[in-house]
Amino acid sequence: MMDAGRHPNITLLTYSEVVEVSGYVGNFQVRVRQRPRYVHTDLCTGCGACAEACVFKRGVPNEYDAGLSRRRAAYIPMNGQAVPLKAVIDDQACLFLSKGKCTQACLEACPTRAIDFSQKERFIDLNVGAIIVATGFEMFDPRRLPAFSYGKSPDIMDGLQFERFSSATGPTRGEILTSRGEKPKRVAIIHCVGSRDEHANRYCSRVCCMYALKHAHLVRDKTGAEVFEFYMDIRAFGKDYEEFYERVQGEGVYFVRGRGAEVIVLDDGRIQVKAENTNLGLPVQIEVDMVILETAMEAPRDSDKVASLFGISRSASGFFQEAHPKLRPFHTNTEGVFLAGACQAPKDVPDTVAHAGAAASEALALLSRGQVVISPTTAVVDEQLCSGCKTCIVLCPYSAISFVEDAGVARVNEALCKGCGTCVAACPAEAITARHFSDRQILAELEALLVPA
Amino acid sequence: MACEEPRIGVYICYCGINIGATVDVEEVVQFAQTLPNVVVARSHRYTCSEAGQEMIRQDIRQLGLNRVVVASCTPRMHEPTFQNVLASAGLNPYYFQMANIREHVSWVVDDPAQATEKAKRLVRAAVARVNFHEPLQPRQESVTPAALVVGGGIAGIQAALTIAEAGYPVYLVERQPSIGGHMAQLDKTFPTLDCST
């Protein structure tokens, strides 16, 4: 993280989103929208004085702590560990920016006068040869499966919230405590929440077994509580993973083979977990004081927008579709656009790093080659015949056809055209030919095919 | 070149037993020899092998072929292979046509007589088409030596660092005000329990 922040060849564009992509392999034009931070990053030292001074004491849920703590409108992201280490003023939360009512104490508090409420969003245009999409995943929201009672008790948390409790930078500075502020005595860990479930996602989310085992270890290590793991199978597939599973078994964790069926919050706040122990063929009901729901990785909600922006498709699970499941797992069907990490499928850290390294090497191969060969099997417009009706322009799935105003005709950008033939079939003036798939060639082929040999 | 008389070579592949066990390859060869503008038709055990490729190259040179049809597997597999054979013998690679008599015939048609009939038709269609092929020239475009990485989690950071280390400029775009992604929220990582940040 720090290395990426200070590498001379890396330009960080944070608080930014790609809004437009045009061009083709080797020559993409990209427009990025950068949201205003209301802070001059060249002046800000990341000291946090603005956050101290921010009058919005109640604040808003802190995303870094998965909502377990609150932050003010002016803040240093990631509890002060942001890269770049710069303050942000959240315009949704800021009383001045959202309601126009605030003493603007942060302005005065800032020792370098870095705060500027007049900042506007800005657009940055980039020219690049290769694009790597590494947009990641979202965690499944357990509210979608009401049987787990997520949200009904502060002691029922999802895996990411547990990570924050256990982290030294988290809201309890790494102590695992129940909502009463005590160490838990009995903890239930429920696997496959939102995965391998036809009511949520059918796929195995791949990482949850291992992080659930890690959570069991951390609970045992930090609190000594009894831990009950409700699992269907343990998928410890990676290097040293099975050994880790055996280690956690040796630490005295109770493994109950059967999906956790229901989490019940009683009127007095006590929590019961119901499941079936499929090894014994018996129903199980235990009382615990903490439940960790090990949720699945999901494709982010706006993946459809990202997919259409970069011209990539999605698999049934919602993750981005690779060009070939085995031989081209980090390519897309748009040349020059590569996939890295969990945006392609759920992945753990080692697999993500490997996938990203491979995507980078593909991008590097393209950049260092310096040249791309553009296939000549494209559509071509006969400008004598084109009536300028623009029918083809809206139909082209690759936005490869543009209208030449002076000449009043359509023209194909051969670098963008994939030769799909949509425009050829649609042109009412028959002015477009698909090279290598001309009518003459196709009709000759058909005539020869349809007569018995 | 486009107006000269087509001189077509047709090559029917056995693909070991993949095609040969179902399609009567020699019957297809004899049939191909009767088609208009076909100068030579031959079979080969593995046309994609170096020996098979050399056979085609020799025929182009010695018999003055200016069109080539190979009936074998899917063009997704070997169309580039055979296009390169044409190019290495001095022919435009777009004077090539492939008939898929493996995925479309021998692997899906059980009856040998029907399979052979279908293979013949596909070969005749490819020959009819290749008559009208025109030479095409691929274009070369230069590459902008910079990369965009979208997403500043562990995947994006890793990719950006690899490219940056190789000396190319990288733009790393992240929606949040800080890079780090989910990884930066984790406590320890399995199975080694090392720190994640």
Q: Are strands B194-195 and B188-189 parallel, antiparallel or unpaired?
A: antiparallel
- Indicate the domain borders of chain B: 8-130, 147-195
Position B1 pLDDT exceeds 50: no
String of DSSP letters for A175-236: ----TTSS--SEEEEEEEESSS-TTS--S--SSHHHHHHHHHHHHHHHH--EEEEEES----
- Using DSSP, state whether B135 is helix, strand or coil: coil
Q: Are A294 and A215 in contact (CB under 8 A)?
A: yes
Q: Are A244 and B197 in contact (CB under 8 A)?
A: no
Number of inter-chain CB pairs under 8 A, A vs B = 322
Question: Identity (one letter) of the amino acid at A147?
Answer: A
DSSP B104: I
Both structure tokens of A62: 């802190």
Specify the long-range contacts of residues A64-69, CB closer than 8 Å, at least 24 apart.
A64/A164, A64/B184, A64/B185, A65/A164, A65/A170, A65/A171, A66/A158, A66/A160, A66/A161, A66/A163, A66/A164, A66/B185, A67/A161, A68/A161, A68/A164, A68/A165, A68/A170, A68/A171, A69/A170, A69/A171
Residue B197's pLDDT band (boundaries 50, 70, 90)? low
Interface mutation target, options A13, A140, A375, chain B, most CBs of B under 10 Å: A13
Distance from CA of B189 to the nearest CA of A (A): 8
- B140 and A5 within 8 Å at the Cβ level: the answer is no
Interface mutation target, options A2, A3, A12, A20, chain B, most CBs of B under 10 Å: A12
| ipTM (interface predicted TM) | 0.91
A114 to chain B, any CB pair closer than 8 A? The answer is no
Buried b or exposed e, range A58-67, using 16+ CB within 10 angstroms: ebeebebbbb
Position B2 pLDDT exceeds 60: no
A309 to chain B, any CB pair closer than 8 A? The answer is no
Q: Which of residues 321-360 of A touch B (CB under 8 A)?
A: 340-343, 348-349, 352-353, 355-357, 359-360
- A241 and B182 within 8 Å at the Cβ level: the answer is no
Q: Are B191 and A240 in contact (CB under 8 A)?
A: yes
Both structure tokens of A152: 């009904």
Tokens 């399609």 -> residue: B23
Q: Which residues contact A199 (CB under 8 A, 6 or more apart)?
A: A145
Q: Which residues contact A302 (CB under 8 A, 6 or more apart)?
A: none
A211 to chain B, any CB pair closer than 8 A? The answer is yes
Interatomic CA distance for residues A100 and A6, integer angstroms: 36
Distance from CA of A267 to the nearest CA of B (A): 33
A156: left (phi over 0), alpha (psi -120 to 50) or beta: beta
Element (H, E) at A426: helix A422-426
Both structure tokens of A176: 């695992």
Element (H, E) at A440: helix A439-450
Interatomic CA distance for residues B19 and A124, integer angstroms: 56
- B176 and A14 within 8 Å at the Cβ level: the answer is yes
Geometric angle at alpha carbon A338, from A333 and A339, rounded to 5°: 105
Distance from CA of B186 to the nearest CA of A (A): 5
Q: Could you say which residues of chain A have pLDDT below 70?
A: none
Residues of B in contact with A435 (CB under 8 A): 134, 136
Interatomic CA distance for residues B172 and B180, integer angstroms: 12
Residues comprising chain B, all counted: 197
Structural domains of chain A sorted by starting position, each given as residue range(s) with its CATH number in brackets: 139-298 (3.50.50.60), 379-450 (3.30.70.20)
Q: Tell me which residue in A5, A66, A356 faces B159 most closely, judged by beta carbons.
A: A356
Interatomic CA distance for residues A379 and A383, integer angstroms: 12
Q: Are B170 and A10 in contact (CB under 8 A)?
A: yes
pLDDT of res. B3: 59
Q: Give the class (CATH, top level) of B8-130.
A: alpha beta
pLDDT of res. A397: 85
Q: Are B98 and B69 in contact (CB under 8 A)?
A: yes
DSSP A90: -
Q: Which residues contact B24 (CB under 8 A, 6 or more apart)?
A: B112, B116
Tokens 């046509």 -> residue: B97
Specify the long-range contacts of residues A20-23, CB closer than 8 Å, at least 24 apart.
A20/A309, A21/A131, A21/A309, A21/A310, A21/A311, A22/A399, A23/A415, A23/A416
Show the DSSP H helices in chain B as ranges.
25-33, 50-63, 75-88, 112-130, 154-165
Return the beta strands (E) in A361-425 as ranges.
Answer: 371-374, 379-381, 401-404, 409-412
pLDDT of res. A453: 84
